[in-house]
Amino acid sequence: MVIAVIGLGEVGSRYSVGMVKRGAKVKGYDIKFHDPELMKRFLPYEEEGVQLVNSPEELIVGSDIIISVTSCHEALETAQMYLPYLSKNQIYVDLNSSAPKVMEAVDKLLEGVCTFVDGASMNSITQYGIATPVVLSGKHAQYVMDELNKAGMSVSYLGPGIGQASAYKVIRSIFIKSCEAAIMESLCAARRHGIAKEVFHSICDMIGNDTEEVMATMIRTNVIQSKRRADEVEGVADMQEAEGLEHTMSLATTKKLNWLATLGMQEKFNYQVAEDMYEVLDAILARM
């Protein structure tokens, strides 16, 4: 089994070196190889055992599983670049965190040429290294999962449909990325008032006690509290504006909560906290 990695940036290099250390045979290629100065940064990977090759064709020929880790904006372009060298006995795996429609376009491009598997890395490669959770979807995703897990990765199977893995990643990012933006905005305001440590620890304590229960409660109580919460955050936005602080997240939160308040959830749930958070989500989707 030979695994080829397209793109040896932070993600590709850590996966490659990690798999080699666990006995896998790994080849790697990056377009930056053609710059002599930039090439120097990749030499340590070769010393670790990754076979660095000189061209896309050399990377693909003789490989069994090809993993693309360039960027979400280059996913289709990368597949087009490697298309001439791929064959039916090979599996092309995309881990570029692209939107589902991009993965569907890559699948269509590679149809009849090789097997395509949609994938996504779910956490920080810097933090978890080769143990970073990865999800895969597609008709042959379970086979790829087994082979990559043998090579030391931490892969799970999500489903048979192309686009499921990428959808899983990007939809989750609505929360993850906005959470990142929100904590930055919240703590900047707290720092301005000299209470950053206290606010930070309070947020961690609230979420850390029982994360699933905390998140579910936010959804279940929103049916009767969205307007009150919108008014509270609007007041915070006014405070931030008066103090000259950037306040994108508080404005966005106010807008979202005010929109939720227009959906008639209070009446639907008889002015009571909902018993099930999924019932709330279904009611909101119905209003859309």
**Domains contained in the chain, CATH given:** 2-168 (3.40.50.720), 175-287 (1.10.1040.10)
Could you give the CA distance from residue 274 to residue 239 in angstroms, rounded to a whole number? Answer: 32
> Is the distance from CB of 147 to CB of 65 less than 8 angstroms?
yes
What pTM was computed for the model?
0.79
* pLDDT tens, per residue, the chain with 288 residues: 999 999 998 899 999 999 999 999 999 999 999 898 989 989 999 999 999 999 999 999 999 999 999 988 889 999 999 999 999 999 999 998 888 999 999 999 999 999 999 999 988 888 889 999 999 999 999 999 999 999 999 999 999 999 999 999 888 888 888 888 898 899 988 998 999 899 999 988 888 878 888 888 888 998 888 898 888 889 889 989 999 999 999 999 999 999 999 999 999 999 898 999 999 999 999 998
211: its two tokens: 């994360």
Query: What pLDDT was estimated at residue 124?
Result: 80
